[in-house]
Structure formats: structure tokens, C-alpha cells
């Protein structure tokens, strides 16, 4: 099985599962025990239900690394490289997931950051809205700016971004994926029940894995051990999950 830190930009060794919006240490232990590879920790996500203060974010990031299984990802709307750099100093996080609409120039500046003496790696979210990708004309520019991995996600009609639970349209993503030279993740309503809807994308040579939030939770909004286990079993083909 590929390791999260060393294998996120490689697509040859299996599907990665990322669970986003973690806020408590027991959730990390639950994810680590059920085959999750990556954990999304929110910082500078204005109004986000799982947004963390910098100190709390750093504590959870260190705890995720300490599991020896999970690789923490800084999920953020922030664009200022100085602010991001200050946050990264507090924890051994190698990955930044950029939501919102930073320019390729802004991405290039983030890509120049380091964490623990190593260059940071960048996941850039590509937002699908109304059957179109908002950033479609910038794919090549983002790659030149240093994006390591793209993540396809859904924007609601009222403009909400990230963890909306709305289903991603595979027919919209497919031609975009064919334009990429970087691996990609799928988000937007991903669950254990709808893998069949994404079989063509899962078979794509650049498919890397899935990112879930809403469907990893129970009716009370808490991370569900059963739901996480079902998602990892279906998407990672792990019958023992």
C-alpha cells in the first residue's frame, strides 16, 4: 500500500482516502484504524463549521502524524504565503489544499513554502458549478505554477465551496481529467454507495483517490466509524476494513 506522505503524487499503487473537517483527537484514532490515508484539517476557512484556531490546528496536525498512518493536510482559503508559512511552522504538515480562487501566481508563491526543511506540496481545488469548471481555462497555468494534485469539488448555486455534500457530475469531470498531467482526487457527495457512478474516473490513469466529509458523518454530524469503514472498503477494495 502506498504511504500518504510519499505517495500522494503517485497513482500506481492504489486509491487514497481523505477525510476532511476533523476537529478532535478521537476522530484521528478512528480514521487511522479504518484505513484512511489523509486527514483534512481546516484553518482560515471563514465561517466553516470545522475551522480551527491555529494552536488547535497544530495540535491535531501533530497528533495525526503521530498515528504513523495519517498524513495531515492544511485545508484553507488563505492565500498569504507569510500567514501560511507561520501556520506550517507549528506542525509537520507537507500538504496544503487551496480552496477558493487563488491565481496561478498566488499558487506559485505558496508552492515556494517549506515545512520541516522540505518543499510544500499543493492540492488545488477545481470548482464545478452549473456543469462547468470555474478554473477550466487555468489548468495549464496551475500546473506550471507547481500544483501537485488537483481536487474536483462542487460549488452550490449560492456559491458555497467545500463540504457541501452535493454530488459531483462524472460527465463534467471526465474531459477535464483528460487535460491534466497531474493526479486528481474526487470530492462532492462521494460515498460507499455511489462508486459505480465514478467507475470511468476511478479507472483513469491519473485518478488518485477520494475526499469525503459529509458522507463520513452520522445524522448528528459526527464522524461515523461504520460510514468511514464502508467508504474505505468500497473505494480501497479492502474487505477487511
pLDDT value at position 37?
Answer: 96
For residue range 46-98, list pLDDT tens digits in order.
Answer: 988 999 999 999 999 999 999 999 999 999 999 999 999 999 998 989 999 99
Query: With 0-12 CB in 10 A as exposed, 13-18 as middle and 19+ as buried, what is 79?
Result: middle
The answer to whether residue 232 sits within a structural domain is yes
Instruction: Report the helix count and the strand count for the chain, using DSSP H and E.
Output: 9, 12
- For residue 55, what is its C-alpha cell? 494552536
- Identify the CATH number of the domain in which residue 220 sits: 3.20.20.70
- Specify the number of domains making up the chain: 1
pLDDT value at position 22?
Answer: 98
Query: With 0-12 CB in 10 A as exposed, 13-18 as middle and 19+ as buried, what is 16?
Result: buried
pLDDT value at position 204?
Answer: 96
Three-class DSSP category at 161: strand
Mean pLDDT by 10 residues, the chain (241 residues): 43 81 97 96 94 97 96 96 94 94 96 92 94 95 98 75 73 97 95 95 96 95 97 77 40
The answer to whether residue 101 sits within a structural domain is yes
pLDDT value at position 166?
Answer: 77
The answer to whether residue 94 sits within a structural domain is yes
Contacts of 128 by beta carbon, 8 Å cutoff, 6+ apart: 134, 152, 153, 154, 155, 168, 169, 172, 173, 188
CA distances from 135 to 46, 92, 99, 124, 125 (A): 22, 30, 12, 10, 9
The answer to whether residue 199 sits within a structural domain is yes
Q: How far apart are CA 215 and CA 221, in angstroms?
A: 9
pLDDT value at position 155?
Answer: 84
Q: How far apart are CA 228 and CA 186, in angstroms?
A: 16
Beta bridge partners of 152: 126, 186
The answer to whether residue 90 sits within a structural domain is yes
pLDDT value at position 116?
Answer: 86
Contacts of 178 by beta carbon, 8 Å cutoff, 6+ apart: none
DSSP string, 46-95: TT-TTEE-HHHHHHHHHHHHHTSS-EEEEEE----HHHHHHHHTTS---E
The answer to whether residue 31 sits within a structural domain is yes
The answer to whether residue 135 sits within a structural domain is yes
The answer to whether residue 241 sits within a structural domain is no
pTM of the full structure: 0.92
Containing structural domain, residue 84: 4-236
Amino acid at each position: 500500500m502506498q504511504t500518504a506522505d510519499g505517495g500522494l503524487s503517485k497513482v500506481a499503487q492504489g486509491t487514497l482516502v481523505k477525510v476532511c473537517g476533523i476537529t478532535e483527537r478521537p476522530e484521528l484514532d478512528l480514521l487511522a484504524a479504518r484505513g484512511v490515508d489523509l486527514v483534512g484539517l481546516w484553518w482560515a476557512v471563514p465561517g466553516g463549521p470545522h475551522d480551527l484556531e491555529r494552536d488547535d490546528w497544530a495540535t491535531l496536525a501533530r497528533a495525526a502524524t503521530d498515528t504513523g498512518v495519517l498524513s495531515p493536510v492544511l485545508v484553507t482559503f488563505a492565500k498569504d504565503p507569510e500567514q501560511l508559512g507561520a501556520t506550517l511552522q507549528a506542525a509537520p504538515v507537507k500538504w496544503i489544499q487551496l480552496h477558493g480562487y487563488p491565481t496561478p501566481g498566488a499558487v506559485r508563491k505558496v508552492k515556494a513554502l517549506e515545512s520541516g526543511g522540505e518543499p510544500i506540496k499543493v492540492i488545488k481545488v477545481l470548482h464545478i458549478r452549473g456543469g462547468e469548471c470555474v478554473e477550466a481555462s487555468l489548468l495549464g497555468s496551475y500546473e506550471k505554477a507547481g500544483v501537485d494534485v488537483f481536487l474536483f469539488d462542487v460549488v452550490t448555486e449560492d456559491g458555497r465551496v467545500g463540504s457541501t455534500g452535493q454530488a459531483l457530475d462524472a460527465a463534467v469531470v471526465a474531459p477535464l481529467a483528460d487535460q491534466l498531467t497531474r493526479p486528481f482526487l474526487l470530492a462532492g457527495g462521494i460515498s460507499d454507495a455511489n462508486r459505480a457512478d465514478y467507475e470511468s474516473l476511478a479507472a483513469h490513469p491519473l485518478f488518485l483517490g477520494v475526499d469525503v466529509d459529509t458522507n463520513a458523518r452520522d445524522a448528528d454530524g459526527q464522524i461515523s466509524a461504520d460510514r468511514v469503514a464502508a467508504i474505505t472498503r468500497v473505494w480501497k477494495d479492502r474487505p477487511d476494513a
